[in-house]
Amino acid sequence: MTEKIDEKKVTPRSQDFAAWYNELIIRAELADYSPVRGCIVFRPDGFAIWENLRDELDRRIKQTGARNAYFPLFIPQSFLQKEAEHVEGFAPEVAVVTHAGGKELEEPLIIRPTSETIIHYMFAQWIHSHRDLPLMINQWCNVVRWEMRTRPFLRTSEFLWQEGHTAHVTRDEAERETLTMLEVYRSFVEDYLAVPLIAGRKSAAERFPGAEETYAIESLMPDGRALQCGTSHYLGQNFARAFEIRFLDENNELQHPHQTSWGVSTRLLGAIVMSHGDDQGLRLPPSVASMQVVVVPIWRKPGEAERVLSTSREVAGKLAEAGLRVTHDEREGVTPGFKFNDWEMRGIPLRIEIGPRDVAAGEVVLARRDIAGPAGKSKAPLAEVAPRVESILEQIQLNLYRQAKAAADSNTRQFDDYAKLCAQMAEEGSGGFAEVYWCGNPACETKIREETRATCRAIPLNQHQEGGPCIACGQPAIERAFFARAY
């Protein structure tokens, strides 16, 4: 049995973070590689996390007034070409359908890499008057971008996401919508996924193709690289002009609406795995865990089984009644130690152990996944299990955030010396976030990228510091920006 457990161990994070990540996803059965290049299979334990995440975010998106709809998977090739920057950004990575129904198509169809073009084409049919605005649409769907290098969840040829698309009468209202959604994403990812973030504006070089301004939430992973977790774009009137979307304003004059788009994807599953996992396996925030609690009955002598099982089943039943996602591990032929390791690998936030002595004492042992060893264990009287579990799950949710925040903070540094920035970024696996004054000149950004491989991840909003010399050129700069090597 011992061998079997060891076989299931993953490469330690400190030894090879990338190997740890890839192995963990397979071993914890979140996903599997597929026979199609760059595409993965979301297995039930991974997809359940996505469903929990999606349902909560969907609720929050609807609260802002957006409604769900569904647009075609296919986009006529000519549509992509209507917005100059957009086609330049996406044309190299699209998948193209040339044949269908046994015939060659007159015009090839592109599998959507994002849906601005076809959605704006439809907006032009639906928007006639200022009374039709704001129009706020969200879509949950699959998209395809033929990437050269792929990694499960982080970058796959096909992925799942939501994409919001809105049209507004005024520039001001559209800009507010862009920032509203940035904040929806920030609070959702920090509170619900327990992943700490930096939110801010993107540099011109990092903007969405066709946008006037892009905002993003970025998180620092334990290997010192930043992960873009979501984006919100102010599109101005670029697409409205390209797709001839016009409305009659209150003065009966034709205007183009101001538009936004915003999205998060299955990449968030990668953020959860990397931010919280350890060498024993996943550690899932209770909010999104497929199972929040596992009850493990423990007995040695056959005579003990009945007493233990009747109690452990009752405990599991009570927790389910309280609305918790709970599983009862009745497997035979494997030891309790094997079960513990198995559920630790799968990242279940809380384990409840019930043995003959616990039954006799009228109590259970609660073992937290977020705190290893005896420090994470406590006892609870049988009658109080449900409220105690609910309280501990809340603590675990907060603690996972605190731990991830502390790790990110310890790898976030301010630099005013370019040589020190270069030295920091040169160390493999410890780049981290560098907070620096940047004058905004693209040449300085290019210099930093080429010499340190770090890119501008975000320029925080509402900065109030005094300003200082640009880290790259020394000219006066008024804003700090976060640079990092990125996924």
Query: Alpha-carbon distance 60 to 47, whole Å?
Result: 20
Please say whether the beta carbons of 31 and 43 come within 8 A: yes
Among residues 73 and 398, whose Cβ is nearest to its own copies? 73
Q: How far is the CB of 80 from its own copies (least distance, A)?
A: 13
Q: Tokens 């740890």 label which residue?
A: 20
Q: Does 44 bind its own copies (CB under 8 A)?
A: yes
* DSSP code at position 278: B
By CB under 8 A, name the one of 11, 34, 280, 441 that touches its own copies. 34
* Residue 42 in the binding site for its own copies (CB under 8 A): yes
Angstrom distance (rounded) from CA 282 to CA 369: 9
- If DSSP codes are grouped into helix, strand and coil, which group holds residue 427? coil
- Of 20, 21, 90, 121, which lies in the binding site for its own copies, with binding defined by CB under 8 A? 121
We find the least distance from the C-beta atom of residue 66 to its own copies, in angstroms, to be 9
Q: Considering the complex, state which of residue 133 and residue 385 has its C-beta at the smaller distance from its own copies.
A: 133
Q: What is the b/e burial string over 129-164, where b = at least 16 CB atoms within 10 angstroms of the residue's CB?
A: ebeebbbbbbbeeebbbbeeebbbbbbbbbbbbbbb
> How remote is the C-alpha of 339 from its chain's centroid?
29
Q: Under a CB-based contact definition with an 8 Å cutoff, are residues 141 and 122 in contact?
A: no
Question: Taken in order 177, 183, 189, 192, is the CA torsion positive or negative?
Answer: negative
The answer to whether 153 and 170 have CB atoms below 8 angstroms apart is: no
Q: Give min distance, CB of 78 to its own copies, in A.
A: 10
Closest distance between its own copies and the C-beta of residue 332, in Å? 11
H/E stretch holding 264: strand 258-265
Which one, 35 or 373, has the nearer CB to its own copies? 35
Sign for the CA dihedral angle at 83, 133, 164, 440 comes to: positive
- Residue from the set 5, 48, 179, 365 that interacts with its own copies by CB under 8 A: 48
Dihedral angle computed from the Cα positions of residues 33, 34, 39 and 41, in that order, rounded to the nearest 10 degrees: -70
We find the least distance from the C-beta atom of residue 153 to its own copies, in angstroms, to be 12
Query: Which residue, 163 or 435, is less far from its own copies as judged by CB?
Result: 163
> What is the nearest approach in angstroms of its own copies to the Cβ of residue 444?
32
**Least distance in angstroms from the C-beta of 255 to its own copies:** 21
Rounded to whole angstroms, the Cα distance separating 262 from 486 reads 20
CB closer to its own copies, 71 vs 415? 71
According to DSSP, the β-strands at 326-328 and 293-297 are: parallel
Q: Which is nearer to its own copies, 45 or 363 (CB)?
A: 45
Closer by beta carbon to its own copies, 125 or else 251: 125
Rounded to an integer, what is the distance from CA 382 to the centroid of its chain? 37
Interface with its own copies in residues 71-110 (CB under 8 A):
71-76, 79, 91-102, 108-109
- Provide the mask over 447-466, with x wherever binding to its own copies is found by CB under 8 A and - wherever it is not: --------------------
Question: Which region among 116-124, 192-200, 402-410, 426-434 touches its own copies (by CB under 8 A)?
Answer: 116-124
Confirm or reject binding of residue 65 to its own copies (CB under 8 A).
no
Q: Between 147 and 173, name the residue whose CB sits nearer to its own copies.
A: 147
Handedness of CA 68, 178, 74, 37 (dihedral sign): negative
Site residues for its own copies, 134-173, by CB under 8 A, read 137, 141-142, 144, 146-148, 157-158, 160
CB 136 to its own copies: min, Å:
9
Which positions lie near its own copies, rule CB under 8 A?
32, 34-36, 39-44, 47-48, 50-51, 67-76, 79, 91-102, 108-109, 111, 118, 121-122, 125-126, 137, 141-142, 144, 146-148, 157-158, 160
